[in-house]
Amino acid sequence: MPMFDEDNITKFKELETPFYYYDLNILRETLDACTNASAKYGFHVHYAMKANFNPKVLDMIQSYGIGADCVSGNEVKAAIEHGFGKENIVFAGVGKSDKEINLALDADIFCFNAESVQELFIINDLAKAKNKSAAIAIRINPNVDAHTHHFITTGLDENKFGINSWQLPDVVDALRKCDSLKFLGIHFHIGSQITDMEVYKNLCTRINEMQDWFADHGFEVKLLNTGGGLGVDYHNPDTNGTADFESYFKVFKDFLNVKPGQEVHFELGRALVAQCSALISRVLYVKNGQKKNFLVLDAGMTELIRPMLYQAYHQIENLSRESESNERGVAANRQSPTVHYDVVGPICESTDCFQKDVEMPESYRGDLIAIRTTGAYGEVMASGYNLRDRVGSVYSE
């Protein structure tokens, strides 16, 4: 299903750019697909809020009964404000401050995903001071290669996240000493934009080994939290707009050794929200050079930093030229000559480039440009660098 038609392009022409456009139908279709696939196996899904905390997006996700996966105290607060039940909130992060831990204890969240032995003692002390008991899952670094970009890999020994397996004896010592902690189970998160299901199969093997290790040491594992990371198709947002939730959950169904009474949890961010949004921008200037042509947009790394931060690919479309050719009844790009452009932003940094050498219809000042699949890690990473205006949002309904 194409995201844009004459109606919304006409509407965009009246609006100030840049802005994030949210197609709530696409979000709904994605959430339907995810919840239908996970419900088959009784799996619990949490939404990794850091991917997008736009209020309308949060409200819709919450309405599906999905839980919240938070990585800061303010995310815990926002989850509660948007109606996520406290019994459905988990809190991860390598650097939880005392203030954030206290906030989460006061909110009686479901579980802390603890990322170091030292953190266990701190949560224990803070919980004891409040006469509370804190539920804990141990985030284990499984040393599984996510086969994704190394900037977004989190589950290797060299990464800062989680507790390495050779430290687990210290973990059980700590758990025995900390009487204000309640051990629930184990947690993993190995990286993002993972599309190779073999990776998750390998993760299942490690989870099975780890839960046996805990059981052998006298700890009942009630919860297996496999984290998130399921990838989306950045190259075909219209023809392949929904992540492959069916295959994803089925791998865990087939390869995870789930014991009676155990709960299996997931923390999906990108796969739920990436495709529902596009960054809409205008061409400010066209610079034709001897070696290169530049399209200078009114959006830059201050609105979308993924290409600059992770070398990420996003499909770029000229909506004005495509709508013109559609009006003539011919497919885009056929009639009008194409030009290779470096598509850049206005920010005073050479890295402020969305993509080099993009083949596009010949473009002009004022053309509307869509940068696709920007619902995850887009708006949330916007910054005020160069004292730019805060990027706006526009909704399909």
Ligand X SMILES: *Cc1c(COP(=O)(O)O)cnc(C)c1O
Q: Which amino acid is at 384?
A: G
Whose CB is nearest to ligand X? Answer: 269
Alpha helices (H) in 40-110, listed in sequence order = 55-63, 73-81, 98-106
Q: Which is nearer to ligand X, 204 or 332 (CB)?
A: 204
- Residue 135 vs residues 72, 160, 368: alpha-carbon distances, Å: 17, 23, 50
Query: Which residues in the chain belong to E strands, given as ranges?
Result: 19-22, 44-48, 67-70, 89-91, 111-114, 134-141, 163-164, 181-187, 223-225, 263-268, 277-288, 293-297, 316-318, 338-344, 353-361, 368-371, 392-395
Q: Tell me if 72 contacts ligand X by CB under 6 A.
A: no
- Of the listed pieces 27-35, 169-177, 263-271, 281-289, which binds ligand X according to CB under 6 A? 263-271
The reply to whether 227 sits near ligand X by the rule CB under 6 A is yes
Nearer to ligand X, 54 or 293 (CB): 54
Among 54, 153, 192, 211, binds ligand X (CB under 6 A): 192
Query: Using CB under 6 A, which of 228, 300, 361, 375 touches ligand X?
Result: 228
Residue 71 is a binding residue for ligand X (CB under 6 A):
yes
- Please give the residues from 116 up to 145 whose contact with ligand X meets the rule CB under 6 A: none
Quick one: which segment of 43-51, 77-85, 255-263, 295-303 binds ligand X (CB under 6 A)? 43-51
Among 57, 61, 223, 268, binds ligand X (CB under 6 A): 268
Tell which one of 142, 155, 229, 307 touches ligand X (CB under 6 A). Answer: 229
When asked if residue 210 is in the footprint of ligand X (CB under 6 A), the reply is: no
CA distances from 263 to 90, 205, 291 (A): 14, 17, 58
Give the Cα separation of 369 and 111 in Å (integer).
Answer: 43
- Within 87-116, the residues that bind ligand X by CB under 6 A are 92
| Closest to ligand X by CB, 103 or 297 | 103
Helix, strand, or coil (residue 187): strand
Strands (E), 76-230: 89-91, 111-114, 134-141, 163-164, 181-187, 223-225
Residue 22 or 266 with smaller CB distance to ligand X = 266
CA dist 248 and 82 (Å) reads: 28
What type of residue sits at position 206? R
Instruction: Please select the residue that binds ligand X; options are 44, 82, 96, 189, rule is CB under 6 A.
Output: 189
Q: Which residues of this chain interact with ligand X, rule CB under 6 A?
A: 48, 50-51, 69, 71, 92, 189, 192, 227-230, 267-271, 376
